[in-house]
Chain A
Amino acid sequence: EPEVTQTPSHQVTQMGQEVILRCVPISNHLYFYWYRQILGQKVEFLVSFYNNEISEKSEIFDDQFSVERPDGSNFTLKIRSTKLEDSAMYFCAGGDRGNYGYTFGSGTRLTVV
């Protein structure tokens, strides 16, 4: 069964550093998403991406965050200057028709020290 692949599975970074989280969605998916889950809290929507542009974003997705689909396959989330509170599990997801639920990757655990 096709999978959404996320790399790395765990990343440790120093506060203030830039990080790029990478995702390879399933090839026929059209809608792409990033969610995050801070330890012990709910899974929260960050951003959705369709037709090579952001379609919606949450309040969490401020100027420190950006997304790209540079080569038609990879889908990346960049955090420009990480803060301690960015430590979380970040999930990439994709779908062909979002209303039937989408497929999530296994996540990247980001630890900011």
Chain B
Amino acid sequence: GEDVEQSLFLSVREGDSSVINCTYTDSSSTYLYWYKQEPGAGLQLLTYIFSNMDMKQDQRLTVLLNKKDKHLSLRIADTQTGDSAIYFCAESIPPGAGSYQLTFGKGTKLSVIP
């Protein structure tokens, strides 16, 4: 079945770049997503990438997709203390009856050291 794996923790200094990695197993994934969860809050969609793309950039965020290795990464440039959160990688399974079911990783807890 589908599986998404992430490392559980990452610690970086403020101002450095953070790179959060994810591997997935389902080669039929159509979209891959990064969600952010701050303490006590819900899952906030940060960005997504379609499976026929290699890279997507959105301000400080860069998503890289290596479809051959089924590897997805999220790079946060100039990491700030406000970026401290749990980051979830997710893949969407092609729709059954029109809905897109997401498979999530366990989440990477990013800690930013001032």
Q: Is A43 an interface residue (CB 8 A)?
A: yes
Query: Interface SS of chain A: helix, strand, loop or mixed?
Result: strand
Q: How many B residues, CB 8 Å from partner?
A: 28
Residues of B within 8 A of A93 (CB): 43
Q: Which of A48, A58, A106 touches B42 (beta carbons < 8 Å)?
A: A106
Total cross-chain contacts (CB, 8 A): 75
Q: How many A residues, CB 8 Å from partner?
A: 29
Chain A, residues 54-81, CB within 8 Å of chain B (1/0): the string is: 0110100000000000000000000000
Residues of A within 8 A of B107 (CB): 42-43
Closest to B101 in A: A45
Contact A56 B48 (CB under 8 A): no
B residues whose Cβ falls under 8 Å from a Cβ of A: 4, 30-31, 33, 35, 40-45, 48, 88, 90, 92, 95-107
List, sorted by A's number, 28 A–B pairs whose CB atoms are closer than 8 Å: A33-B99, A35-B104, A42-B4, A43-B104, A44-B104, A45-B103, A48-B97, A48-B101, A55-B97, A56-B96, A91-B42, A91-B43, A95-B100, A98-B100, A99-B30, A99-B31, A99-B92, A99-B100, A100-B31, A100-B48, A101-B31, A101-B33, A101-B45, A104-B43, A104-B44, A104-B45, A105-B42, A106-B40
